[in-house]
Amino acid sequence: MANNLIVVLEGEESQFALQMVDRSKLYGKRKRLNLDPSGAVCTRAELTDDGQFLVRSGMTAQAYFDEDFRWIPRGDLVGVNARGEAVPKVPSTLGVPQALVGPIAPEDVFDLEVESVYHLTPDAISGKLAEALERGDIYRCVFNHRADYHAVQALLLKNSEGFFAIVGSPAATVWCELQEFATDTGTEEDDGDDLDFDMF
């Protein structure tokens, strides 16, 4: 199916339906509503800096503007890299078979900068993958929920609650260390700040 995650392990294909896991599904949610004197729900709005326009919630997500305040349709936007060069759009991987890599080390899960978590419902799962996930193996594949300019990784695993895909990008850890270490000279220096009680 077009919206399913399809993966391939050793030539055998498996399909999973996805459902995003978020805090509201885990813990429920509350929403605070502001009411006007008549009991109607208020909507948020802001004035622009010059006071000429009233911007309601959601309006800034509908369009982009250039430096001359000309409206740029979302379809005309292109992705660029750090050098200002246009980069190709990465298509969605849903509905397209993705090769699984692994099993990978459990430590790789902790090196992932997690963006989202999906609960997977197997529509069709190969015996090899089911057996591997059941014994605790973890597999990786390319993942892109919708077409954009950056594909990420999905780590497939299973626990007592079912099958899951942890989605994100590998975290780049930057280590810092001193170029020169302080050494103990073994001598004490007089800083001249001792109080002279004879002065009082």
Q: How far is CA 99 from the centre of its chain?
A: 22
Residues 107/155, Cβ–Cβ less than 8 Å: no
- Of 163, 160, 151, 166, the C-alpha closest to 106 is 166
Buried b (16+ CB within 10 A) or exposed e, 12-34: eebbbebeebeeeeeeeeeeeee
185: part of which helix (H) or strand (E)?
none
Q: What is the pLDDT of residue 62?
A: 60
Residue 199's pLDDT band (boundaries 50, 70, 90)?
A: low
Q: Is the dihedral of CA 132, 135, 137, 139 positive or negative?
A: positive
Q: Between 40 and 189, whose confidence is greater?
A: 40
For 101-159, write each residue's pLDDT tens digit. Answer: 878 888 887 788 888 888 888 888 888 888 888 888 888 888 887 877 777 888 888 88
pTM across the whole model: 0.60
Task: Say whether pLDDT at 65 is over 60.
Answer: yes
pLDDT value at 12 more than 70: yes
CA distance 164 to 90: 23
More confident position, 46 or 194: 46
Cis peptide before 103 (omega within 30 of 0): yes
Q: Which residue has the higher pLDDT, 198 or 112?
A: 112
Q: pLDDT confidence of 190, banded at 50, 70, 90?
A: low
